Structure 1
Amino acid sequence: MQKKKKKSHVPFRLNALFLSVFLLFSILIFRLGYVQIVKGAEYKQTSDQTDNVTTKLDAPRGKIYDRDHRVVVNNKPVYSITYTRMQNSTAEDRLKLAEKLSHFIHKDTSEVTERDKKDFFILLHKKEVEKRITAKEKKKLNDDQIYQLELDRVTKKDLDQLTDHQLEVLAIKRELDGGYSMSPQRVKVGVTEKEIARISEHLKELPGIDIKPDAQRDYPFGNSFKGILGQVKQIPKSKMDYYLARGNDRNDLVGTSFLEEQYESVLRGKKSKIEYMTDKAGNPIGDPIEKKGERGDDLVLTVDMDFQKKVENIIESELKESKSGSFAYANRDLKEAYVTVMNPNTGEILAMAGKQYDPKTGRYKNDPYGNVYDSFAAGSVVKGATVLAGLQSGVITPNTHFYDAPLNFGDGRVMKSVENMGSIGPLTALERSSNVYMWNIAMRLAGYDYSKKRFIHENVEGAFRTLRNTYAQFGLGVPTGIDLPSEATGYHTGISDDLAQAMFFAIGQFDTYTPLQLAQYVSTIANDGYRMQPHLVKEIREPSEDPNKLGKLVTRIEPNVLNRIDMKKSDIELVQKGFRLVMSGAHGTAAPRFSHKSYLPAGKSGTAQVDIKTGMDNRTLIAYAPYKHPEVAISVVVPNVRADTPNYEIGEKVLDTYFEMKDKGEPTK
């Protein structure tokens, strides 16, 4: 009997597997076909209409402290109104938006320029302004030239028609126009709670407008020293390329002046980033994702703010007394004064103060930057440098004497010192401020023999160069190197072939110098001929999470010697002795004020004639103390005053205050 063969299950399993694979592939093919054919156009359109956009907002800037670690510049939390400009935004759209915003916020109009007003007037009165251009003119000119002509024909009378409300709309529109596509632009920083509430109620009517947390610079010491701290604003158009090349965005806030500008890279924080999707029209899709930034590094200044404020008060007190009407001050009319206080050994600026009388308000405004950016004829304070120029060139020695009596050149000119002093050497010449002695130095440098009333070897231009080159070694007429974006170097009146002009140069009545240059000059004499670079920043530190503590030290600004003057130490010591005699000698010009001071000052006073007819002079003073071991140097400049001694009075009070505070351990911590 034949056995039945055992049935195999393999073919069945293979068939089931093949069937499953077939079904899966069928579903996949069907799905792909559906996506590609049915939904393809829709998905492609969605893909084409979305984009990833990343915008950035400035992080809080670093703080600024004084030398005693008191906050001078802080960040105050505020809210800002921002505008994110869409790609299809037009000028008309922004005008309508500005008009709406003007009903919800107040906007300062002080920065609106005349050009802004003209552009705005043309926008509001297009047809009227177009009529001011003739058909003949339109044929000859291109569009840019026509618009320029329209601007030229907008009159002051036209601009006077703009109402206060229209100017406010213009100020808002100015901010809206300044923005860039898809980048939040600050319209107003520091909005009030009332303004926030109004905006919040109408956000749907204000496309692109938002309310964001922000930070604003805050000044715990008010206006004291504020002029040197600088401002933070949007990048000026003139510097846009500079900042863009360094990775900034167009709408960034940056330091635009003084310390804020000088230390922009230090103070600037790491930006926060906002990422979101937009359609091709630029409209946001969904909620944004924000990544927080980091605050910038902090600065510690060399300035002691208590001392700074006291110096400011001293200046203002003297200016006010000049207007008191009392007999003692009847011959005065002080309108401004400047003081720089410097450590001659390190270059640290301990105080930099200035005051100006504002006739519009009847008040005195702070003007510390006048020490750096304004220059004045300095008068006899330069005589120390003149003596050293004579010693270095060999036209005089420490034992050279000249007879101080009126000089007569036979052409009607008579030149003399305040009083006839007889035969004097360089020490007495400094002590009593002899003009004749300095003129003899200038004449010898120029090759002129006064006893024979003729040139032996005429070289007046050489005298100018010798004096100017010597002065430059002390910082007079050249950059001091202070850590600010720029500084004035004074006015070089040129080089003359007139001997009389060279003689006036030698007594400080030719070129002009800044108060800071004068402070650097006297510091160089005080510290045996080393010209120190002045600086306002002492340290750079990381931001601290603890508001009561400083962060980790990043950089300490070390003293920097710019140059050592090319002169014998004994010659420098001679001038130091002369400066000490000015303030302590029997005939010292400043001795009545300073001879009794325990801090043993040395220095030189000066008077430079500004207007002979009105009797207006510049009164100056340079000083350092103590004489043997100097630790502080000052310059005082009181411009355009009648005969008086405000330079002495201010200088005395500043030095007194310094040493009173020093006894308490205050200004030199």
Structure 2
Amino acid sequence: MNKKNKSKMQLPFRLNILFFIVFLLFSILIIQLGVVQILNGEEYQQEINETDQEYTQLPVPRGKIYDRNHQLLAGNESVYTITYTPAKGVTAEERLKLAEKLSHYISMPHEDGDYDLSERNKKEYWYLKHTDKAEKRLSDKEKEKMDNGEAYNTILERIKKKEMGDFTKKQREIMAIKKQLDQAMTLTPHVVKNEHVTAEEYSKIAEHLGSLPGINATVGWRRVKPYDETLSGIIGSLSSQKQGIPRDKKEYYTALGYKLNDRVGTSGLEQQYERVLRGRKTKIEYTTNSNGEVIDSEVAVKGKRGKDLVLTIDTKLQKKVNKIIRQEFDNALQSNPYLNRFMDEVYAVVMNPQTGGLLAVTGQRYDQEENKFRNIGVKAMYASFEPGSSVKGATVLSGYESGVINIGTTFLDRPIKIAGTPEKSSYAALGSVNDLDALRLSSNVYMFYIAMRMGGDFHYNRNQSLNYDPDAFREIRNYFSQFGLGVPTQVDFPSESDGYEGPDPKAGNLLDFAIGQYDTYTTLQLAQYVSTIANDGYRVKPHFLKSVHTPVPHEQELGPVDKSVETEVLNKITMDEKYIERVQEGFRQVYQETGGTAAGAFASKPYTAAGKTGTAENDIYKDGEKVLDAENHILVGYAPADDPQVAFAVMVPKMGVSTSQPEVSKNIGERILDTYFQVNE
């Protein structure tokens, strides 16, 4: 046989051996599967059936908040944190034992030994330490009629304070720890302590994790606000880990996927933009056995911290406005401490009239008892006051549009007397005045004539009754609302006031309304009103938010823009442009021309400002008796007059009346514009 034929015979032989080996391996595998199925299948199937998949979510740091110049206003600071993640079925006895162990490694915050423990916390602790004795409080017959919960609560009710005695400081601390452990939900990390966890406490816990089931030593975060005093209330606050979701918001937030112990914004911009700042939680999938023990875990969804906000607020300007208000407040008190003793707060709003961006929103209150100022800026959006003559621009425009006056219409400014009512007048008899004079000189009588005519009486006769249609109130308020007076400004903030609407639509009150001494408005509404006039009749929505940014790994950098806030025009004044221009000219004359009520402060400035002054009676009463003649002093304005970049409103309530009265509102407004345009004071 030749080599070629021999080779052909060897190849099938080798293949047969290979096939035999493969057959043998498959046979062994089949036998093994059979053994597993027949001998151990039930056991394995039971184990599979007894495991379960659970999900939990871990919080991530909130987005940051910056001002328009990227100064950090609210950020996150890393802190040591002790958490507890309970398995299923953990008993109260087990939590108490765990609390006792933890008490060797950490101390709980308290004030003079007070751990904020309720009577129930103490009774539950005593019950666990004296279970047999406590159970005797309930007879077997009573137990038969109650479920476990009812029986337990009844036993606690029957434990007397005297019986428990006094607890040691160590016992109270254990109760405080257990109180936190009791609040934890299955497989959800709960913060036991995250304020003032020391490095020593952190390392001790980390070292003994093996004997502390469910406890973890990790790094969390807390909110830091470098300019909290400057912007107190505007940035807002978060709920504490202890508080979690506020009770009145429980249904709202849980419907959005929040957990009860999640921290949420409870005020200010933290609340307004909660869903932007919160971020996406890390989602963990746990596999547990029939005993509730975690046998495996993995990250199902990777978390991502919240998006960052850039505001329109200029922190540098805000700080300076705060300082200006405090200085002028002090000057007023030193000038006349008696007559100004009821003046305790001042407000100012500065905004871009073309975009609605809020540059500064502040309020300062002087606490006489503590001899210090407090920041109350949020009240600029909900504290309302009579605005006085500052709203006369809206009154004149209402007169134009209703047809009761026209450009150049004149009236004789002298006291008006309506039958059965006190005499009404301007601060002086101004003689014949037209519409521009009425604004420049701040004529009350001119506004009275507009009101009387809108009420239906074009033929005023001294000491006689008016022909008056009460519907005039509705008409003039409709005109005012186009400027944002008496209606919400729609600012992006959790709450604001639309002011107070006087309830009695009689003729005399309509005349008072026309000079700003009946309805009340907020400082923000007045800023929106003057911005509307400055902006050629376009009322824009005031806003704090400038842009939203996607977070980036580099914590000190701003990420790409996710959303920019565009200017939102709420409405256009339904009046001929020539009327808007006429009032703009009147406002310019108030600040620039001889006799203008604010010309002394602004006429010589390198910028050309325009606006309106205002004074409204705001007498002080105590026990129903007037104790002081007082006034609200108001100033609204904008600059430059021909191309407005900035608008403002200043409200100084309850200034004592005096011939030597300091002009606080004018001084503040002047210094605000000087600061904005960087004019040396």
Which category of TM-score, normalised to the shorter sequence, fits these structures?
Answer: 0.7 to 0.9
| Partner AA of 1:658 in structure 2 | Y
Which residue of structure 1 aligns with residue 194 of structure 2? Answer: 189
Query: Does the alignment pair 1:395 with 2:395?
Result: no
Query: Does the alignment pair 1:649 with 2:667?
Result: yes
Query: Does the alignment pair 1:538 with 2:543?
Result: no
Pairs within 5 Å for 1:382-531: 382-411=391-420, 413-448=422-457, 449-451=459-461, 457-460=467-470, 462-494=471-503, 496-531=504-539
Kindly provide the CA deviation profile for residues 508-563 of structure 1, in whole angstroms up to 9, marking residues without a partner as x: 12222111111110000111111111121222222233455432222222222111
The separation in 2 between residues aligned to 1:570 and 1:168, in whole angstroms, is: 75
Pairs within 5 Å for 1:258-407: 258-285=268-295, 292-323=302-333, 326-327=334-335, 331-333=339-341, 334-359=343-368, 361-407=370-416
> Gaps (5+ residues) in structure 1?
1-15, 132-138, 155-160, 664-669
Query: Does the alignment pair 1:231 with 2:237?
Result: yes
CA spacing shift, 1:315–1:92, aligned 2, 3 Å: farther
Kindly provide the CA deviation profile for residues 310-329 of structure 1, in whole angstroms up to 9, marking residues without a partner as x: 11111222334445xx3455
CA spacing shift, 1:89–1:627, aligned 2, 3 Å: same
Moved more, 62-71 or 43-52: 43-52
Kindly provide the CA deviation profile for residues 195-243 of structure 1, in whole angstroms up to 9, marking residues without a partner as x: 4245446656755332222222222334322421222333333333333
Kindly provide the CA deviation profile for residues 433-473 of structure 1, in whole angstroms up to 9, marking residues without a partner as x: 2222212222222224431755675312x121112111110
Moved more, 509-518 or 481-490: 481-490
The separation in 2 between residues aligned to 1:491 and 1:534, in whole angstroms, is: 20
| Cα displacement (A) at 1:623 | 0.8
CA spacing shift, 1:442–1:166, aligned 2, 3 Å: farther
Kindly provide the CA deviation profile for residues 404-450 of structure 1, in whole angstroms up to 9, marking residues without a partner as x: 22222232522222222222222222222222221222222222443
Q: Normalising by the residue count of structure 1, what TM-score does the alignment of the two structures yield?
A: 0.81
Instruction: For residue 630 of structure 1, give the secondary structure of its aligned residue in structure 2.
Output: coil
Kindly provide the CA deviation profile for residues 306-358 of structure 1, in whole angstroms up to 9, marking residues without a partner as x: 111111111222334445xx345553233221111111111111111222234
Question: Contact 1:271–1:294 at 8 Å: present in 2 too?
Answer: yes
| Cα displacement (A) at 1:99 | 7.8
The separation in 1 between residues aligned to 2:465 and 2:434, in whole angstroms, is: 23
Kindly provide the CA deviation profile for residues 361-392 of structure 1, in whole angstroms up to 9, marking residues without a partner as x: 43222222112232222222111111111111
Question: Contact 2:440–2:595 at 8 Å: present in 1 too?
Answer: yes
Match for 1:630 among 644, 661, 666? 644
Instruction: For residue 232 of structure 1, give the secondary structure of its aligned residue in structure 2.
Output: coil
Q: Quick one: percent identity of the two aligned structures?
A: 46
Question: Contact 1:109–1:171 at 8 Å: present in 2 too?
Answer: no
Which residue of structure 1 aligns with residue 81 of structure 2? Answer: 80
Pairs within 5 Å for 1:475-624: 475-494=484-503, 496-547=504-555, 549-611=557-619, 613=626, 614-624=628-638
The separation in 2 between residues aligned to 1:18 and 1:102, in whole angstroms, is: 69
CA spacing shift, 1:256–1:100, aligned 2, 3 Å: farther
The separation in 2 between residues aligned to 1:423 and 1:167, in whole angstroms, is: 81
| Partner AA of 1:637 in structure 2 | M
- Aligned pair count reads 626
Cα RMSD, aligned residues only: 4.2
Instruction: For residue 320 of structure 2, give the secondary structure of its aligned residue in structure 1.
Output: helix
CA spacing shift, 1:125–1:483, aligned 2, 3 Å: same
The separation in 2 between residues aligned to 1:635 and 1:162, in whole angstroms, is: 59
Instruction: For residue 377 of structure 2, give the secondary structure of its aligned residue in structure 1.
Output: coil
| Partner AA of 2:674 in structure 1 | D
Question: Contact 2:177–2:192 at 8 Å: present in 1 too?
Answer: yes
> Gaps (5+ residues) in structure 2?
1-16, 128-132, 138-144, 161-165, 621-625
| Cα displacement (A) at 1:120 | 5.3
Question: Contact 1:184–1:251 at 8 Å: present in 2 too?
Answer: no
| Cα displacement (A) at 1:622 | 0.6
The separation in 1 between residues aligned to 2:178 and 2:443, in whole angstroms, is: 64
The separation in 2 between residues aligned to 1:125 and 1:630, in whole angstroms, is: 71
| Cα displacement (A) at 1:403 | 2.3
Q: Normalising by the residue count of structure 2, what TM-score does the alignment of the two structures yield?
A: 0.80
CA spacing shift, 1:230–1:93, aligned 2, 3 Å: farther
| Partner AA of 2:322 in structure 1 | E
The separation in 2 between residues aligned to 1:499 and 1:166, in whole angstroms, is: 72
Question: Contact 2:418–2:465 at 8 Å: present in 1 too?
Answer: no
